[in-house]
């Protein structure tokens, strides 16, 4: 059971923030600070009730002169009369404390986004140089290389590509966060997109001993999509379906037929599955079901968050269903370009 205790330090901090808010204009601005207005409204019944009690007990008619008389007879009424103002100030100050916190969070968020995009850009520049020189060495224009050296360069190249992918994801995230992430919708042939995604992951799937099955119907209609971005979504989903699969497992890509306004795509695997209560969280940025220090899967937990944003920019939704130990299935929908107008 949680023990109730007063944390003196945070109490002092709250009092400090409160006192600081009392000196800020925002506290008294009933047009911008709804807390202040709320406090005033909350305080209004107090003088009415206290004077009302006097009227009720003395049974005199309610007139202005009687009100003044009652108030002069008992100066405590002035104190009650000022209550709406007291409440307005106290609530207003609370509103200002909240407002200040919000401003601080927004500021920190902006700093974090700037930092993210700055770091990604700074990492990318030297990495491009590294990738360039690895490719250059492999062309043997600087002299012949032996088999062992070629092997080493190939591994370095693969690691550099992986790093590049992570940086791309961080850059995408910073774009999403500052609202600069856009899609350009056109008629897209998903057969071609899936074909490309499968081709780019074939080697990885073979390494993991996972079979990729493209079961899209041959009469799949074109959809409204941003070709590059939807390829990114497909690659992310397929990459996960391979990564979290078992040896000898299968990844299946399917879609609904041409007669519907929305074409539903799905990517299913025969892997470890995702716990029921984590099915929503996996779409949050940086979230990974296994985030322990000894996790054996690579990645930084951004693929699904980015994919979700991309699908949402297409006006669609992405969702997951899963059974532990049996596999997971990811669904998303795109508009049929032969039946629906461009969104
Ligand atoms: N097909 C899947 N099977 C099991 N777990 C998955 C699958 N796809 C995603 N997940 C879970 O969701 C998390 C987030 O996925 P993602 O955003 O692609 O990040 P990453 O792949 O970098 O870990 C993964 O770490 C994993 O725990
Ligand atoms: Mg992933």
Q: 3-state SS of the chain: helix, strand, coil percent to 5? A: 60, 10, 30
Looking up residue 250, the CATH number of its domain turns out to be 3.30.565.10
Q: Which domain holds residue 254?
A: 186-335
CA distance to 43, 192, 193, 289, 331, per residue, from 265 (Å)? 58, 14, 12, 24, 6
Query: Do both 123 and 264 map to the same domain?
Result: no
Q: What is the pLDDT of residue 2?
A: 59
Any domain includes 342? no
Q: What is the pLDDT of residue 259?
A: 82
Q: Distance from the CA of 287 to the center of ligand 1, in angstroms?
A: 8
Q: Which of 162, 181, 200 is the last residue of a domain?
A: 181
Query: Do both 81 and 121 map to the same domain?
Result: yes
Q: Which residues surround ligand 2, an ion (CB under 5 A)?
A: 240, 299, 303
Query: Do both 58 and 122 map to the same domain?
Result: yes
- Position of tokens 């019944």? 45
Give the pLDDT band (50/70/90) at residue 3: low
Q: Distance from the CA of 325 to the center of ligand 1, in angstroms?
A: 15
Query: Do both 110 and 248 map to the same domain?
Result: no
Query: Do both 117 and 194 map to the same domain?
Result: no
Closest Cα to atom 20 of ligand 1? 301
pLDDT tens for each residue of 31-60: 999 999 999 999 999 999 999 998 999 888
Query: Do both 113 and 238 map to the same domain?
Result: no
Structure tokens at 166: 């992570």
- Answer whether 230 contacts ligand 1 (Cβ < 6 A): no
Any domain includes 22? yes
Q: What is the pLDDT of residue 260?
A: 87
Count of structural domains, the chain: 2
Helix axis angle, 83-138 to 45-58, nearest 10°: 160
Give the pLDDT band (50/70/90) at residue 288: very high
Do 251 and 238 touch, CB atoms closer than 8 A? yes
Do 154 and 93 touch, CB atoms closer than 8 A? no
- Answer whether 251 contacts ligand 1 (Cβ < 6 A): no
Any domain includes 241? yes
pLDDT tens for each residue of 237-279: 999 999 999 999 999 999 987 788 999 999 999 999 999 999 9
Q: Which of 181, 208, 224 is the last residue of a domain?
A: 181
Query: Do both 300 and 204 map to the same domain?
Result: yes
Q: Distance from the CA of 243 to the center of ligand 1, in angstroms?
A: 8
Any domain includes 220? yes
Query: Do both 22 and 167 map to the same domain?
Result: yes
Query: Do both 190 and 174 map to the same domain?
Result: no
pLDDT of 293 over the 80 cut: no
Say what percent of the chain tops pLDDT 90: 78
Query: Do both 102 and 205 map to the same domain?
Result: no
Q: Distance from the CA of 308 to the center of ligand 1, in angstroms?
A: 13
Q: Is the pTM of this model over 0.85?
A: no
| Burial 253-269, CB ≥16 within 10 A → b, else e | bbbeeeeeeebebbbbb
Query: Do both 169 and 218 map to the same domain?
Result: no
Q: Which of 129, 152, 181 is the last residue of a domain?
A: 181
- Answer whether 169 contacts ligand 1 (Cβ < 6 A): no
Query: Do both 154 and 194 map to the same domain?
Result: no
pLDDT tens for each residue of 147-203: 999 999 999 999 999 999 999 999 899 888 888 889 999 999 999 999 999 999 999
Closest Cα to atom 13 of ligand 1? 288
């Amino acid at each position: 059971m949680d023990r109730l205790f007063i944390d003196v330090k945070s109490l002092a901090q709250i009092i400090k923030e409160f006192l600081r808010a009392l000196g800020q204009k925002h506290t008294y601005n009933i047009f911008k600070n709804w807390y202040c207005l709320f406090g005033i409204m909350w305080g209004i019944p107090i003088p009415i009730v206290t004077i009302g009690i006097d009227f009720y007990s003395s049974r005199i008619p309610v007139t202005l002169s009687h009100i003044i008389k009652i108030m002069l007879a008992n100066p405590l009424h002035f104190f009650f009369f000022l209550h709406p103002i007291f409440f307005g100030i106290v609530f207003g100050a609370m509103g200002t404390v909240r407002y200040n916190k919000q401003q601080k969070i927004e500021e920190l968020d902006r700093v974090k986004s700037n930092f993210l995009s700055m770091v990604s850009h700074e990492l990318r520049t030297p990495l491009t140089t590294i990738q360039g020189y690895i490719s250059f060495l492999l062309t043997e224009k600087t002299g012949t290389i032996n088999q062992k050296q070629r092997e080493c360069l190939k591994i370095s190249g693969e690691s550099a590509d992986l790093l590049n992918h992570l940086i791309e994801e961080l850059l995408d995230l910073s774009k999403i966060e500052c609202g600069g992430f856009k899609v350009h919708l056109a008629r897209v042939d998903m057969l071609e997109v899936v074909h490309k995604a499968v081709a780019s992951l074939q080697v990885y799937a073979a390494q993991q001993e996972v079979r990729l099955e493209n079961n899209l119907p041959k009469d799949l209609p074109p959809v409204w999509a941003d070709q590059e971005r939807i390829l990114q979504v497909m690659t992310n989903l397929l990459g996960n379906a391979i990564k979290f699969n078992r040896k000898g497992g299968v990844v299946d890509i399917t879609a609904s037929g041409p007669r519907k306004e929305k074409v539903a795509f799905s990517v299913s695997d025969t892997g470890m599955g995702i716990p029921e209560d984590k099915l929503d969280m996996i779409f949050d940025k940086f979230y990974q079901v296994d985030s322990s220090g000894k996790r054996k899967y690579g990645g930084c937990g951004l693929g699904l968050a980015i994919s979700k944003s991309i699908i949402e920019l297409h006006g669609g939704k992405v969702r997951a269903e899963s059974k532990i130990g049996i596999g997971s299935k990811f669904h998303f929908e795109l508009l049929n370009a032969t039946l629906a107008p461009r969104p």
